[in-house]
Structure 1
Amino acid sequence: MNIRKSENLQLIKALNSAKLIGENKESYLSVRVYSLDNGSISAGFDTSEVSHNLIIAVSGFDENPDQNAFEIGPFINPKFVQWNELQKYKKGFEIEYGIFEKRERLRLEISLKELKIIK
């Protein structure tokens, strides 16, 4: 049995700081949406507000499933809104983000191979 300290700083930050904000599991596709802060004053305001990137983890189901992770951002105060089923192996979802008076919505589509913005 081996114990080893990870030297992957990005992985260490993600595992210690990521917050699960959305999850959808079907018998053929699993999608998890995590919010990861970019550090103090990363939003560019005089306040200590931070921006966030989203990490979307996707996995198939079988003995050796296809898996991927995608990162998109930065966002100010991102919130998960809802899931939309597009096709069996594609999920859609919406994220709301921005400052209080100017919230915007972004629609995204995820599959095992790609993440894309839906116009």
Structure 2
Amino acid sequence: MARSEHSGAPAAPVAPAAVELPSDGQVRAAVTAFAMLAEPTRLRLLWLVSAEELDVSSLAARLATSVSIVSAHLAKLRLAGLVETRKDGRHVLYRARDTHVRRLIAEAMFHADHQITGAADHD
């Protein structure tokens, strides 16, 4: 907790009114992203494609599920703007769209790890 420079007492929190609300468009985009993360297979897919580019068959094998299930989930993630593709010969490789998506997935999983293990909170 921050301390006042003069008294050593805790600094007063910033009044909520001083924080500007996100726009309706930003909230809709974030809600869409979080809705995509609320499904276990999609979260696992995003975890994998945050680390490396993978094709549908490789992803299906890693998740021990069918190519059609993985394809359906990837289509939703792509429409939501969370993954992008790159052609490599006959293969289509999937990866997390950008650093924001990779950080979002990593932070969600690190938070989950802290919840499960009881690791101390930190800021």
Give me the TM-score of the superposition, normalised by structure 2: 0.24
Higher-RCO chain (CA-CA 8 Å, sequence separation at least 6): 2
Give me the TM-score of the superposition, normalised by structure 1: 0.24
Q: Which has the higher helix share?
A: 2
Q: Which has the higher strand share?
A: 1
When Rg is computed on C-alpha atoms for both structures, the one with the higher figure is 2
